[in-house]
Structure 1
């Protein structure tokens, strides 16, 4: 099965799941999203691969991220996404492209940070509140992520997502600076 066929199947499965979970009829989802009932039926039957804009409208109407709607397979608590595993959403012959790196839906504050670690340096983090989730994108060097004592190598261009309610740390064991962008989702208090 091609990547496009897998993505079409995942979208069909996830759209049906989220529509059922929200108890939306086809007509209700069509009204909320501005996507025709017929198009929704075709998507749920995996007979079409909609535009990114259509997928975004459906995700917004369901109250989930595009990442969640297109997620092919939720994995373990720690997911390392290598560059070749990331989903290319669109590209042009001139070289422009959009890639879904890694994502997750959580309820509460969302923070984005940038990190730069010199060779041989690192930092540890105490467990965050239960339900806290982190997403990292390494832009230079190689990150060694340690989660509950287990090590994960994330190369430049790779991304990782993990539950952060456990001890974790970020380390640069390479010979060049490591740079990354980090998003942190913290659940609502109370």
Structure 2
């Protein structure tokens, strides 16, 4: 899984939000950094660096931290000063220029609902770890061709098409188009 990266100057820096939110959520939970490390399976050193805004972390590791804090992913990456459900934070950048994922917003659901916009450069791939049972995605391709490589079998989605699937399995997104592929991802749990 790729790491979160610092964002461009026109967007908020999600790692700064993570640093601030992680410290506050950890304090509210009454956990030391060592206790959070033990509860989440993330090293204490990583937690220290995250709270200092000095490191990148995988999206799945953020999920582990959030779960240990009784929070969710959005609680960690959102601008703490935001007053609405719009987040608009760059949360992933691929190996090739032009590949990125932006968390647009989130609303309350049984657990979480998130709206993302993704861009993958030709040949780029994002590999995810399985989510817990009950998590699903609805993906709409707006440009290009996307291969959704699921453990249960691959799905190819052309521009204008969509797919709905459980993410409680190994999965990846692969741009199988010779140009940019853009898609909207709605995550619901």
Scaled by the length of structure 2, the TM-score of the pair is 0.47
Select the structure of larger CA radius of gyration: 1
TM-score by length of 1: 0.47
Q: Between Structure 1 and Structure 2, which shows a larger proportion of helix residues? A: 1
